[in-house]
Amino acid sequence: MTYPEALQELVEEFQAIEDKRERLEMLFELADEVVELPNDQWDDETRVRGCQSEAHVRIGITDGRIQFLSAADARMVQGLMGILTIALDGLTPAQAVLIPPTFAEEMGLLNTLTPSRSNGFRNMYDKVMTELRQNRGD
C-alpha cells in the first residue's frame, strides 16, 4: 500500500540522507513531534516491552480520530514515536491499521538501530496496531 502523505514524505527525506549521524540527528529532531504521555500515567499497560530504555504509548480516540500519546527516556526512541505520531495523526483506526511497519526499514532506520532497538520498534508498532484493532472493534 502507499503510506499516508506525511509519512511518505518522511520516508523520502530519510532516504535522501546518506550519513548515519545526520539520519540520527533527524530522528532526534522528530522527538519533538511527540504528544507526551505524562510520566505519572506510565504503567504496565502503557509500557512497550523489548526496549532497552523506558518507552510508553497510549492510544486515544477523539471524534473517531486517533490521538497517539507516547514518551521515552531515550531521544532516539522518542524520535521513532514522533514518526508514528506523524503517521497516525488524524487517521481513523480503520485507516491506521493498514499502515505496514516497513516504513522504518525504508527510512534506513533499522540499519541505524541495534537489533534490540529494531525489536523494540516492532514491539511498539505491534502494540499500537493491536490497540487500534481493539478500538476498531476487531
Partner 1 sequence: MLRDQFPILQRKVNGHPLVYLDNAATTQKPQVVLDAMNDYYSKSNANVHRAVHTLAGEATEGYESCRSKLKQRYNADRAILTSGTTEAINLVAHAWGRAKLQSGDVIVLTEMEHHSDIVPWQMLSEERGVELRYVPVSQDFTLDMEAFEHALDGAALVCVVHTSNVLGVRNPLEEIIEKSQAVGARVLIDAAQGLPHSTVDFQSFGADFMAFSAHKMCGPTGIGALLVTQSAFDEMEPFMGGGDMIETVTIEGSTYQTNEHKFEAGTPRIAEAIGWTAALEWMETFDLENEHSRLIEIASWVAEELRGLGMNVYGRHGEHDAAVVSFLHPTINSEDMAHLLDARGFAVRTGHHCAQPLLHRLGISGTVRASFYVYNTREEAEALVDELRGIVEKFA
The binding site for partner 1 (CB under 8 A) comprises 19-21, 24, 28, 52-53, 73-77, 112-114, 117
CA distance 7 to 138: 25
Angle value at C-alpha 63, between 71 and 43, nearest 5 degrees? 30
Minimum gap (Å) between residue 91 Cβ and partner 1: 29
Give the residue with the Cβ less far from partner 1, 75 or 122. 75
Give the residue with the Cβ less far from partner 1, 101 or 108. 108
Minimum gap (Å) between residue 22 Cβ and partner 1: 8
Minimum gap (Å) between residue 9 Cβ and partner 1: 23
Which grid cell is 83?
A: 514518526
- Give the E-state strand segments of 12-120 in sequence order: 35-36, 55-62, 65-72
Give the residue with the Cβ less far from partner 1, 20 or 45. 20
Minimum gap (Å) between residue 114 Cβ and partner 1: 8
Give the contacts of 98 (CB within 8 A, at least 6 positions apart): 1
